[in-house]
Amino acid sequence: MIFNGILSKLKTGLSKTRSILNTDVTELLLGRKIDEETLDRLEEILISADIGVETTTKIIEHLKQSYKEGNLTDSSQVIDYLKSDLKSALNQDKAGVNIAASGPTVILVVGVNGTGKTTSIAKLANLFNKDGKKVLLCASDTFRAAAIEQLSVWSERLGVDVIRQQSGADPAAVAFDAAEAALARKTDILIVDTAGRLHTKTNLMNELGKIKNVLNRKIPGAPHETLLVLDATTGQNGIMQAKVFHQATPLTGIFLAKLDGTAKGGIIIAIKKQLALPVKFVGIGEKLDDIEPFDGGKFVDALFD
């Protein structure tokens, strides 16, 4: 399933990153000629947006090479080079959700504490809901009563059901109930919320494996998506988190939340480079509509247009 995003919303959500990648770069190039000093300064700007050393070096090398060959004569061309190099660094990534051939599609949502899991689940549920899909939520974050309550409040707002137990219940047992309910109710999309956990806590990481196995035993092929929610404002640490989560329970993609809260939105390029995982959605605010299915081309356009 492919969703279509809106460029203007993405532009607003990316305003902090745009202030570096668009404003600062444009200001740098204004009335300047291309020389070593300009390109060095450009390199600094790209690094400060968290694009990553590897991609930045490649872009700067490309610019220097083109300059030497006489293809880059005017600084106004630099943005075009940047856009095209960033687009190719992000490849053809598009937000597709892996949908079950038949029966419920199960999306397991994981991540460290406070990255935006529950909010992102509500946003996803809303997207599917608007697409006419029957959505069911599962409150497998039984760690705190408030967490169950938070998901229940969203479910009421969205008009979708939630499967819950009392706090302290076994998260895998709640997942079991939810899988059964999804089958019985002919749910299209079951989204499972889990408690935030530090990727360094082995026992908590193993718990995810248990939830996953329960879902898989009830619904063949489940979970069809295991999304790691990363907080974009944590920058490079998110990459470490992704590596450990991926080892504990194979991930199918990243939901990059809070992209609106950082000027280092270039992290999306570093993620793409360092993890062999697609960014499937980005979160650009606290409201239900503040979600964008990720599209590399659109992302770069939103940064520079």
Ligand X SMILES: Nc1nc2c(ncn2[C@@H]2O[C@H](COP(=O)(O)OP(=O)(O)OP(=O)(O)O)[C@@H](O)[C@H]2O)c(=O)[nH]1
Binding site for Mg ion (CB under 5 A): 117-118
Closest of 119, 127, 92, 125 to residue 299, by C-alpha: 92
Angle CA 253–257–260, to nearest 5: 140
For residue 191, the minimal CB distance to Mg ion (Å) is 12
Strand-pairing partners, residue 289, are none
Strand ranges for the chain from DSSP E: 105-110, 135-140, 161-163, 189-194, 225-231, 253-257, 279-283, 291-293
Among 164, 258, 280, 298, binds ligand X (CB under 6 A): 258
Binding segment (CB under 6 A) for ligand X, from list 20-28, 99-107, 110-118, 170-178: 110-118
Query: Among 56, 119, 249, 262, which residue sits at the site for ligand X (rule: CB under 6 A)?
Result: 119
Least CB distance to Mg ion at residue 250 (A):
21
Q: Which is nearer to ligand X, 46 or 121 (CB)?
A: 121
119 binds, among ligand X, Mg ion, none (CB under 5 to 8 A by kind): ligand X
Q: How far is the CB of 9 from Mg ion (least distance, A)?
A: 24
Residue 33: exposed, middle, or buried by beta-carbon count in 10 A (0-12, 13-18, 19+)?
Answer: exposed
Closer to Mg ion at the Cβ: 53 or 153? 153
Specify the residue for token string 């063949």: 220
Closest residue to ligand X in the complex (CB): 196
By CB under 6 A, tell whether 238 contacts ligand X.
no
Of 200-229, binders to ligand X (CB under 6 A) are 229
**Which letter, b or e, does each residue of 248-280 get, where b requires 16 or more Cβ atoms within 10 Å of its Cβ?**
bbebbbbbbbbbbbbbbbbbbbbbbbebebbbb
- Considering only residues 140 to 169 of the shown chain, the ones binding ligand X according to CB under 6 A are 141, 147
Task: State the Cα torsion 166-167-169-172 to the nearest 10°.
Answer: 100
Q: What is the chain's length?
A: 305
Of 99-107, 114-122, 168-176, 203-211, which part binds ligand X (CB under 6 A)? 114-122
Q: Which is nearer to ligand X, 180 or 289 (CB)?
A: 289
Binding of ligand X by 265 (CB under 6 A):
no
290 touching ligand X, by CB under 6 A: yes
Closest CA to 47 of 39, 83, 67: 39
Q: Decide: 112 and 208 in contact? Cβ < 8 Å.
A: no
Q: Is 285 a binder of ligand X (CB under 6 A)?
A: yes
CA-CA-CA-CA torsion for 246, 218, 138, 259, nearest 10 degrees? 30
Q: For Mg ion, which is the closer residue by CB, 152 or 213?
A: 152
CB of 197 to Mg ion, least distance (A): 11
Which span (98-106, 218-226, 254-262, 269-277) binds ligand X, by CB under 6 A?
254-262
Peptide bond before residue 293 is cis, with ω within 30 degrees of 0: no
Stretch that binds ligand X, among 14-22, 26-34, 106-114, 217-225 (CB under 6 A): 106-114
Question: Closest approach of Cβ 91 to ligand X, in Å?
Answer: 23
**Is 114 one of the binding residues for ligand X (CB under 6 A)?**
yes
For binding to ligand X (CB under 6 A), which residues are involved? 111, 113-120, 141, 147, 196, 229, 257-258, 260-261, 283-286, 290
